[in-house]
A and B are shown apart, each in its own frame.
Chain A
Amino acid sequence: MNGIRSWMRKNADVVGIILVMAALLLLFSLLSDSFFTSSNLMRIMLNVSAIGVMALGECLVIVIGGIDLGVSSVFALSGVTAGMLISRAGVGVPEAVLAALAAGGLVGAVNGFLVLKTGLTPFIATFGMLSMIRGLAYALSGGYTISVYKRSFTAIGMYNVGDAVPVPVIIFVALAMVFQITMKKTSYGVRLYATGGNPAAAAYSGIRTGWIKFSAYVVCGVLAGLAGIMSAAKLGMAASTAGMGYEMDVITAVILGGVSFNGGVGSALGVAVGAVVMGIIRNGLLIMNVSAYYQTLIIGLVILLVVSLDAMKEKGLAKLLLTLRRRRRREGSA
């Protein structure tokens, strides 16, 4: 019990979204019999895995005080790259996957370069990249959908380990764990939070903030590429139109996960749970036959609700501290 309490204190930013997840699970389980089954829960995880993987990368970028709006285009570019290399150029699957990941990393490096060296804000730089990279994916594919039949490739999206757990779910969960540990337990994580929290102070204490930021953009690009591969493998095809608008879903997951847009605050665990919460809402509404029109509305409401609660919590805390200080001062003067 003590262990749980100290864990909750240490991870206060995650507790809120975990409670939201638990409440939603309970709600949909009560409302529908077909919701809380292992196959449906696994379906939710499979559906959120690509968005979740992208959100982990986005989390790094937002923690260092940036933003990457271009992830959805990298998603398409990497799928198209892998698809073209395998189906048209006859390249082996491992090489094609590596090339697609490298393409993602390269876009991330360009983002990092634009942000660090040209003085563009992250919002503008990655917003420009959003349309540039989408166009590149379109040009590469010639506008055609590319079918990929190679079994070793489609296995990345379709194979069920032990006939139960799909590979994308394993990738998502494993990456979430790796990111959580890296961010919370390693010196790289410390430098990451320091860079996002107060770049000037971090630079004074000898952290090479430029490289930390650069690395975040590169990792974000690679993960967006990985998500694109996972999705292309799941569908057995790649198209330059894949993932359009996903950047909003990804950013929503990051926001729900309690990552601050001011940088320096947030965790991979929260972001992973945030992605799952979005999946639960979508799936639950679908199962209850609520018209799809309500999905965007409800997810929008949940965003505002979660961040408002957070803001009010902070406001309440500030008020509490103020009254305490006043009382102490009064006692001191008496």
Chain B
Amino acid sequence: MTGTKPAAGGLLKRAATSDSALAVFGIVVVSLVATAFGEHFLSFSNFESVVKSQSIIAVMAMGELLVIIPGGIDISIGATFGLAGSAAALSLGAGHSPLTAALIALACGAAVGLANGFFVAKLNIVPFIVTLGMMGIVRGLIFILTDAQSIYIDNPPFLAVDRIVVAWIPLPIWIAAAACIFMHILLSRSVLGGRAYAVGGDEEAARMLGVKTGRVKMFCYVVSGLAAAAAGLMSAAKVEAAYPRAGEGYEFEAIAAVIVGGASITGGKGSAPAAALGALFIGILKNAIIQMDISQYWQQTVNGFAVILVIMLSALISGRRR
């Protein structure tokens, strides 16, 4: 997907070495195993529910991908996710329209992203540290704003985001697909996308070529905050409430999706469709583990093992160390 690989070696080899190959391979293997050992795995309704619930993670993963490509990382997205839900619920409670509430929530996400970008780009602080600090600040802010209470949402137009079905497919899946297409176009067709890869590949060289690396990074963090806020809104509509702890740990799920999708955590590599497939893989894996009746005690171990195995395989196949 980075467009730098030579076409030689035939279609098969190209398919096997593409970013999506591993996620697809993982999805196929897990699905086969789950179909063989689980009773209810292979059904349309099960598949649809997995895709629908993972669409939230996929939207977050799109933002995380854009941060990881230029060599950054954003672990504050789980907190931003929670902040967006709480902000929307509070503004709905204050009598604002669903649209205003959603815009306020998205603005919160963009503001968090802007703050992250400022510290990373202007002060040159390691992204992990910046977003770790921001995670604490944002989560604390949620607790203060909501008094650590869950807020229930009963606004029908707002909840409709999760319920509407367009052309037989639930709206959240459409949203995730749109986010994926948007990110794919941004990364592969826009100047900014090219610059993001350049910054991740060799920041010094990019700067010498005249790329304003600080601005590129700033943009990426803002988009990441926006994506996390959008995912938070989708989730709030789904569970009909905003929980103060919503989204805790989701940052790692989004990062895992991006990495399974062939991105390199050191930057310069990755693609949007592959990251979406990565999110799907993680969803199918979790679902398969439940469907196969693996003892509850071993679920987490199996999950961690499978994710690490896929990433290790991708490191071996691509021959690149990551």
Contact = CB atoms under 8 A, between A and B. Distances in A.
Given A128-B311, A142-B297, A311-B123, A293 B143 contact: yes
B11 to A, nearest CB: 27
Contacts of B143: 292-293, 296-297
A149 interface: no
Interface in A45-84: 67
Nearest to B315: A119
Contact of A139 (B147, B297, B308): B297
Interface in A277-325: 291-301, 303-304, 307-308, 311-312, 315
The B contact surface, by secondary structure, is helix
Interface in B112-161: 119, 123-126, 128-130, 132-141, 143-144, 147-148
A233 interface: no
The A contact surface, by secondary structure, is helix
Contact of B133 (A128, A139, A303): A303
Contacts of B315: 118-120
**Size band of the B side of the interface?**
35 or more
Contacts of B92: none
Contacts of A128: 304-305, 307-308, 311
B299 A135 contact: yes
A121 B265 contact: yes
Interface in B211-265: 252, 255-256, 259, 265
Interface in A125-143: 125, 127-136, 138-139, 142-143
A308 B137 contact: no
B300 interface: yes
A261 interface: yes
B44 interface: no
B13 interface: no
13 contacts: A67-B128, A118-B312, A120-B308, A120-B315, A121-B266, A135-B301, A138-B300, A139-B298, A261-B126, A294-B144, A296-B140, A303-B136, A308-B125
Interface of A: 67, 114, 118-121, 123-125, 127-136, 138-139, 142-143, 248, 251-252, 255, 261-262, 291-301, 303-304, 307-308, 311-312, 315
